[in-house]
């Protein structure tokens, strides 16, 4: 028996509906069960994509964008019930303002639709989009976030192919300010020629530059959008993610925080002995469209590059060819989950430096390496500095100049005929 639905007002649900939305189909399908009235056909979603509703849950909302093509269109949403897959029209389907919605009534219904799809039937309308909406997501805190604080805006798993996902409301957009960052976790990339992630406003216009991932080989990867004042203004009505050839799993807002006063990497009166642990020439960039380059993960170059690192050691990253406005950043991978964590660095004319603040950080750097990041410069050398001690070289009478030598991959200091190791303790007598 055909069950007909006509336009009705569903204003009472509009305030909280569609808190988080994922698009599962886009196109243009004319719907009709009588082609003499309107040229069209019924639309069985399994004929297009068998797993279109994979993961559907009770209380989620199936949202269909529709365009009326006759004066009194008829809207029918049909599922396949029971062991016989009996075609059965869904109750409680609402249509208002060009949107047809159905709230999944039970776990059993969710499973049937996920496994068997839906059939869209009726008369005199076109379908252009199907989305799944989750209403009971945690609301975004309307209060301003604190500097440096992060807020998860969306989690899921969506493969981008110029579709739009992770839509955010104007309420969320009101939290954005200049220099804030939107962090997008990319779990994988496909075979697209130019895999990328980008931001769009509510009119589907691109905002700011996209982030290309051609040179990224290690996933998950955090694509970082640093917002300008112009970007914030463009996103004020809400925003969403778009892109091509990548799979995204999380969107996070990170509030800007003024950097702390840099730690002096080599305080006055505390001499260091430095060992060069890497040399090369790697262009550094976290946005290849602004400056051609990559992020340098020392663990991929040499896993034990910082073996023996300890609290109080000083790490110097030497750079060259820095552009005006170059940005210098350093991260390490903290804890068992190897969480990328920023370090505060001090920048000088030809290098930037970090003094290891704790034994725990030292161990993570020794085990997991560092990620040299930023924008617009070439990393050319890395040095690990060990503080000298009063029991070694600093206590030796200075009758002749000291000199540094490297033997067997180790650094030694020659002073008054005695060879000292990197910690300043005597190693042997030099004849």
User: pLDDT tens-digit profile of 155-214?
Assistant: 999 999 999 999 999 999 999 999 899 999 999 999 889 999 999 999 999 999 999 998
Instruction: Report residue 139 CA to chain centroid gap.
Output: 20
pLDDT for position 11: 33
Alpha carbon of 4 to those of 1, 72, 78, 318: distances in Å?
A: 10, 11, 11, 72
Pairing of strands 150-161, 221-226: unpaired
pLDDT at 239: 96
Give the separation between CA 319 and CA 331, rounded to whole angstroms: 16
Q: Rounded to an integer, what distance in angstroms lies between the CA atom of residue 30 and that of residue 39?
A: 7
- Beta partners for 24? none
User: CA 256, CA 266: separation in Å to the nearest integer?
Assistant: 28
Per-residue model confidence (pLDDT) at position 167: 94
Half-sphere exposure of 167 (CA within 13 A, CB side): 20
Look at residues 52, 62, 2, 65 and name the one whose alpha carbon lies nearest to residue 32.
Answer: 2
DSSP string, 108-164: HHHHHHHHH--EEEEEEEEEEEEEEEES-SPPPPSSPPPTT-EEEEEEEEEEEES--
Q: What angle do CA 267, 271, 272 make, to 5 degrees?
A: 105
Query: What pLDDT score was predicted for residue 268?
Result: 47
pLDDT in tens, the chain (431 residues): 334 443 343 333 333 343 578 899 999 999 999 999 999 999 999 999 999 999 899 999 999 999 999 999 999 999 999 889 999 999 899 999 899 999 999 999 999 999 999 999 999 999 999 999 986 555 545 557 888 889 999 999 999 999 999 999 999 999 999 989 999 999 999 988 999 999 999 999 999 999 999 888 888 999 999 999 899 999 999 999 999 999 999 999 999 887 655 554 555 445 788 899 999 999 999 888 888 999 999 999 999 999 999 998 999 999 999 998 889 999 999 988 898 899 988 888 889 999 999 999 999 999 999 999 999 999 999 999 988 754 444 444 344 455 555 555 555 666 655 666 555 555 544 33
Per-residue pLDDT tens over the stretch 304-313: 999 999 998 9
Question: How far is the C-alpha of 130 from the C-alpha of 62, rounded, in Å?
Answer: 7
Q: What was the pLDDT predicted at 289?
A: 80
Q: Residue 408's Cα: distance from chain center in Å?
A: 42
Contacts of 358 (CB under 8 A, 6+ apart): 311
Instruction: Report the distance separating Cα 342 and Cα 351, nearest Å.
Output: 17
pTM score, whole prediction: 0.39
User: Nearest 5°: CA angle at 149, between 298 and 216?
Assistant: 30
Tokens of 142: 């309307």
Do residues 210 and 243 lie in contact, with contact meaning Cβ atoms separated by under 8 Å?
yes
- Cβ-contact 60, 88 below 8 angstroms: no
Closest CA to 112 of 61, 60, 53: 53
């Amino acid at each position: 028996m055909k069950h007909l639905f006509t336009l009705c007002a569903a204003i009472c649900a509009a305030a909280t509906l569609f808190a988080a939305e994922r698009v599962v189909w886009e196109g243009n399908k004319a719907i009709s069960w009588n082609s003499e009235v309107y040229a069209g056909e019924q639309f069985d979603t399994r004929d297009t994509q068998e797993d279109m509703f994979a993961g559907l849950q009770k209380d989620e909302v199936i949202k269909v964008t529709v365009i009326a093509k006759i004066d009194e269109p008829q809207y029918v949403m049909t599922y396949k019930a029971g062991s016989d897959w009996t075609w059965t029209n869904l109750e409680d389907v609402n249509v208002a303002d060009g949107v047809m919605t159905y709230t999944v009534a039970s776990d059993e219904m969710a499973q049937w639709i996920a496994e068997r799809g839906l059939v869209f039937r009726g008369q005199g309308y076109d379908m252009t989009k199907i989305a799944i909406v989750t209403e009971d997501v945690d609301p975004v805190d309307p209060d301003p976030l604190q500097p440096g604080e992060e807020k998860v805006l969306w989690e899921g798993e969506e493969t981008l192919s110029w579709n739009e996902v992770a839509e955010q409301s104007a309420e969320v957009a009101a939290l954005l300010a200049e220099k804030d960052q939107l962090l997008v976790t990319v779990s994988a990339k496909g075979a697209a020629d130019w895999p990328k992630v980008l931001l769009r406003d509510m009119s589907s216009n691109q905002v700011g530059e996209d982030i290309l991932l051609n040179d990224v080989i290690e996933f998950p990867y955090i694509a970082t959008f640093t917002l300008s004042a112009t970007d914030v203004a463009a996103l004020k009505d809400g925003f969403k993610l778009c892109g091509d050839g990548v799979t995204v799993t999380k969107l996070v807002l990170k509030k800007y925080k003024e950097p702390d006063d840099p730690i002096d990497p080599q305080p006055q009166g505390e001499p260091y002995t430095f060992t060069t642990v890497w040399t090369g020439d790697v262009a550094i960039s976290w946005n290849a469209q602004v400056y051609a380059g990559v992020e340098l993960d020392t663990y991929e170059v040499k896993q034990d590059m910082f073996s023996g690192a300890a609290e109080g050691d000083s790490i110097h990253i030497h750079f060259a060819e820095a552009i005006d406005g170059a940005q210098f950043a350093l991260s390490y991978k903290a804890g068992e989950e190897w969480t990328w964590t920023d370090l505060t660095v001090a920048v000088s004319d030809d290098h930037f430096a970090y003094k290891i603040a704790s034994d725990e950080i030292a161990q993570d750097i020794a085990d997991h390496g560092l990620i040299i990041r930023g924008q617009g410069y070439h990393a050319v050398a890395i040095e690990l500095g060990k503080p000298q001690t009063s029991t070694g070289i600093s206590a030796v009478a200075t009758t002749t100049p000291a000199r540094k030598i490297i033997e067997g991959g180790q650094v030694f200091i020659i002073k008054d005929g005695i060879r000292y190791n990197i910690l300043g303790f005597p190693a042997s007598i030099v004849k």
